[in-house]
Amino acid sequence: MKICVVGLGNIGFNLFAHLCHKFPGEIIGVDVNETRVKELRSQGYRVTADYRALTGIDVWLMAPSTGNQGQNLFAALEQMIIRPGSLISIESTLPPGTMSRVSEFLEGKGFILGTDLFLIHVPHRVMFGVDKTVCDTPRVMGAFTRACLEKGRQFYDPLVPLLVEVSDIRVAELSKVVENVKRYVDVAFAQEIYGYCVDQGMDYDDLRLAVNSKNNVELLATDWGIGGECLPKDMSFLRTVCNSILLEGAEQADRNYRDRIVNQVGSGKQVLVRGLSYKTGVKDLKHSRGVDLVRALEAAGNTVWVEDPLFTSDELSGSGFSPNDVVDQRIEKQSKEKDSVVLDRQKALNFQ
């Protein structure tokens, strides 16, 4: 079997590395980012940036970043040399309706799905920081034909703990988007209730303890807001196809939450922002609401210092922030003074 992983980012590379152990000598990876390919090659991985080198592939596992209209996926499909009889599994998260466009695209190339080409959608749902490998979580699989499902089952059954087959491929698409949007709405709800608790002088941690004592309820902790790449992106995928006041409200609630933090701080202050990564425990500043908050506080006329246990001072200053320790814990020393504010990521509205 010759297996190709398309897109070697967070998901694709982890999948590729995992499969290298399972199918030694059978895996190759492709990414359009030549720097990434060079880096992985120098570490001994069998990868390429040239689709022309990929002939006779039996299984294509596709995990490129999707693009807001699925354009990266179609760019990849356009370049793949697809052999009759092969299996194409799309693992990226898709805007609802994309699989229909993929099937039209492949049929336009002369393939008959379920006969000479097998197409499935098996969206990824790994939780980095929780799962040990990218294949530890139950997966959902959808296809247009039974034969495609059957082919997909043969490949994925030995790989994942549970394969949930759905008869309508749109359900597979929507399941991943809904999973993330549900989380988005839960966080927005938590932000609203946290704000209400602060208004009423109630302790939000106590409320969580009380509510979460029932095993089918989870009131989440808050952070700087709803960041990372996936949740906001998947919310926008869903909002494009589903007109919902609730979803609109959740997006607005998230914006309001950061506006409230900035308004509470006011201007002309020395502010210490504690925690900058997009989520606790993940060293990544991309799509971080902590970063957005720092910039909004600065725009409001404050001087902002930052700290994050995941980053060194050099890394923080290299990314354009003022690390707190270079001024010898300046803010904490001043914290009793009225022009200084310390903001903690899960207590953003509770500062003195």
CA distance 323 to 306: 5
Q: How far is the CB of 64 from ligand NAD (least distance, A)?
A: 4
* Minimal distance, residue 177 CB to ligand NAD, in Å: 9
The runs of H, that is alpha helices, within 201-278 are 204-211, 230-241, 245-265
Half-sphere exposure of 8 (CA within 13 A, CB side): 26
- What's the length of the chain? 352
Phi, psi dihedrals of residue 164, rounded to the nearest 5°: -100, 110
67: amino acid identity, one letter: G
The residue type at 44: G
DSSP state of 82: P
Question: How big is the chain by its Cα radius of gyration, in Å?
Answer: 23
CB 82 within 8 Å of CB 75: no
Nearer to ligand NAD, 16 or 305 (CB): 16
Closest distance of CB 89 from ligand NAD, Å: 12
76 vs 343 by CB, closer to ligand NAD: 76
Question: How far apart are CB 345 and ligand NAD at their closest, in Å?
Answer: 19
CB of 43 to ligand NAD, least distance (A): 15
Cβ atoms of 30 and 6 within 8 Å: the answer is yes
Residue nearest to ligand NAD (CB): 9
SS3 342: strand
246-278: burial string, b at 16+ Cβ within 10 Å, e else? ebeebbebbebbbeebbeebeeebbbbbbbbbb
- Name the minimum Å distance from CB 76 to ligand NAD: 4
Closer residue to ligand NAD, CB minimum distance, 126 or 341: 126
- Residue numbers of the site for ligand NAD (CB under 6 A)? 6-12, 30-33, 36, 63-66, 72, 75-76, 92-93, 124-126, 128, 230
